[in-house]
């Protein structure tokens, strides 16, 4: 593939060569004609060397003048042709960027033969693809949020209308229902705010040396009453400290979300285990359950916003906890991955973080 620098150099040389060539051709032709005419006026006279020299001197300015004029015209024509060849891809880039700026994210820049312009075209096409994906996700998010808000808003509105019409008796039960749905909306707004900041890398993290094993134990302690209430055993296996540099509150939030997901998919009498360890420079915290499991085709989707598997049924949750967990982990330079042997065989979610310096 040619480069833009090479083409520019070649174009300059081509323009110069065209001008010089035309200068020589036209100059020689005009000079020859002028010399012959000058010599013709001296026909019959004694031809001396100084006469021939004078004839040549008279013809030379005319030849150079006509040759220079023709050379300039030829160089201008060559420059115009070459500039169009080079400026063509730039015009396509300009037209495409204007279309993309106007919201046409399907627009693409044709690949130019020059390496530099081809790289610019690839970058613009990649930008357009990302903007298109972002716009699609934005529209999807608005639809998903609207769907999630519809139920609590409907409950609140229906309850308030019932109270106003006297159909529902005013009392603690009605007020608790409205308060619960309002709290649900508040948690949804907070979760969406956290997710947005994490995905846009604007989430402020208070990084400090901490122990992932201790954080796993703290997260399990917070949710232990809920596990006990539902009859699900919860064990923590973290025999040694696991040093990491992390925002302790955010990592506990990740672990709480993973434990909450495991509890939501476990049946009474089941068991959930949290294991923390460090291997090969990576810290791990794995939450393992014996619950519903995940179908292979759903493993890639469990981290999508508001995605709830086919077995979700009446299980609690908004389908955003795992998305937040992964986003927070990635904001720390880590990740959250899922594994399962299939439906009915449980699942495991592993938080990975870079190992930090020991405390």
Q: Could you give the CA distance from residue 304 to residue 326 in angstroms, rounded to a whole number?
A: 10
**Range(s) of the chain covered by CATH 1.10.287.130:** 117-199
Is 314's pLDDT higher than 50? no
pLDDT band at 317 (very low <50, low <70, confident <90, very high): very low
Is 193's pLDDT higher than 50? yes
Q: Are 290 and 250 in contact (CB under 8 A)?
A: no
Q: What is this structure's pTM? A: 0.57
The CATH number of the structural domain formed by 208-354 is: 3.30.565.10
Q: Could you give the CA distance from residue 181 to residue 189 in angstroms, rounded to a whole number?
A: 12
- List, as one string, the DSSP characters of 122-146: HHHHHHHHHHHHHHHHHHHHHHHHH
- The percent of residues above 70 in pLDDT, for the chain, comes to 67
pLDDT of residue 353: 93
Would you call 270 exposed, middle or buried from its count of C-beta atoms within 10 A (0-12, 13-18, 19+)?
buried
| Candidate ranges 88-97, 242-251, 303-312; pick with highest mean pLDDT | 242-251
Residues contacting residue 50 through CB under 8 Å, at least 6 positions apart: none
Selection from 239, 249, 188, 185 nearest residue 215 by Cα = 249
Give the tens place of pLDDT for each residue, 118-158: 788 888 888 888 888 778 777 777 777 777 788 788 888 88
pLDDT band at 92 (very low <50, low <70, confident <90, very high): confident
Average pLDDT, the chain: 76
Selection from 17, 28, 15 nearest residue 67 by Cα = 28
**Range(s) of the chain covered by CATH 3.30.565.10:** 208-354
pLDDT of residue 6: 57
Residues contacting residue 105 through CB under 8 Å, at least 6 positions apart: 128, 129, 131, 132, 135
- pLDDT mean over 241-249: 91
Fold of 117-199: Helix Hairpins (1.10.287)
Residues contacting residue 1 through CB under 8 Å, at least 6 positions apart: 113, 114, 115, 118
pLDDT of residue 22: 59
Give the tens place of pLDDT for each residue, 262-280: 998 888 888 999 999 988 8
Range name among 20-24, 247-251, 330-334 with the lowest pLDDT average:
20-24
pLDDT of residue 214: 93
Give the tens place of pLDDT for each residue, 52-84: 555 545 555 555 555 555 556 666 666 666 666
Q: Could you give the CA distance from residue 237 to residue 82 in angstroms, rounded to a whole number?
A: 72
pLDDT of residue 283: 92
What is the distance of C-alpha 129 from the center of its chain? 8
Range name among 6-15, 109-118, 286-295 with the lowest pLDDT average:
6-15
What is the distance of C-alpha 358 from the center of its chain? 35
Give the tens place of pLDDT for each residue, 232-241: 999 999 888 9
Q: Could you give the CA distance from residue 266 to residue 132 in angstroms, rounded to a whole number?
A: 39
Range name among 41-55, 81-95, 111-125, 170-184 with the lowest pLDDT average:
41-55
Q: Could you give the CA distance from residue 201 to residue 188 in angstroms, rounded to a whole number?
A: 20
Distance, first Cα to last Cα, the chain: 55
- pLDDT mean over 281-306: 85
Q: Who has greater pLDDT, 142 or 213?
A: 213
Is 352's pLDDT higher than 90? yes
pLDDT of residue 287: 94
Is 216's pLDDT higher than 90? yes
């Amino acid at each position: 593939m040619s480069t833009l620098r090479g083409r520019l150099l070649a174009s300059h040389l081509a323009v110069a060569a065209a001008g010089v060539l035309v200068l020589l051709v036209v100059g020689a032709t005009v000079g020859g004609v002028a010399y012959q005419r000058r010599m013709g006026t001296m026909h019959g006279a004694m031809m001396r060397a100084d006469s021939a020299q004078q004839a040549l001197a008279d013809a030379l300015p005319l030849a150079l003048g006509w040759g220079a004029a023709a050379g300039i015209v030829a160089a201008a024509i060559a420059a115009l042709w070459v500039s169009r060849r080079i400026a063509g891809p730039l015009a396509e880039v300009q037209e495409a960027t204007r279309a993309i700026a106007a919201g046409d994210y399907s627009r693409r820049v044709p690949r130019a033969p020059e390496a530099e312009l081809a790289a610019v075209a690839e970058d613009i096409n990649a930008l357009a693809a990302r903007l298109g994906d972002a716009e699609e996700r934005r529209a999807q998010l608005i639809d998903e949020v609207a769907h999630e808000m519809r139920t609590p808003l409907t409950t609140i509105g229906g309850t308030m209308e019932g109270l106003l019409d006297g159909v529902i008796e005013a009392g603690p039960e009605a007020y608790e229902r409205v308060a619960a749905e309002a709290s649900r909306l508040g948690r949804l707004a907070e979760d969406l705010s956290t997710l947005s900041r994490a995905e846009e890398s604007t989430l402020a993290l208070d990084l400090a040396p901490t122990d992932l094993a201790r954080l796993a134990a703290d997260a399990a302690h917070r949710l232990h009453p809920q596990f006990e209430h539902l009859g699900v055993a919860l064990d923590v296996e973290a025999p040694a400290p696991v040093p990491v540099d992390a925002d302790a509150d955010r990592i506990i939030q990740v672990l709480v979300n993973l434990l909450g997901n495991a509890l939501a998919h476990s049946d009474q009498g089941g068991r959930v285990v949290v294991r923390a360890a460090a291997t090969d420079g990576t810290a791990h915290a794995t939450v393992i359950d014996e619950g519903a499991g995940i179908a292979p085709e759903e493993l890639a989707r469990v981290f999508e916003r508001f995605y709830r598997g086919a077995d979700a049924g009446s299980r609690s949750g908004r389908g955003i906890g795992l998305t937040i967990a992964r986003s927070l982990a990635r904001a720390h330079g880590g990740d959250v991955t899922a594994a399962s042997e299939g439906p009915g065989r449980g699942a495991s979610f592993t938080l990975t973080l870079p190992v930090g310096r020991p405390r």
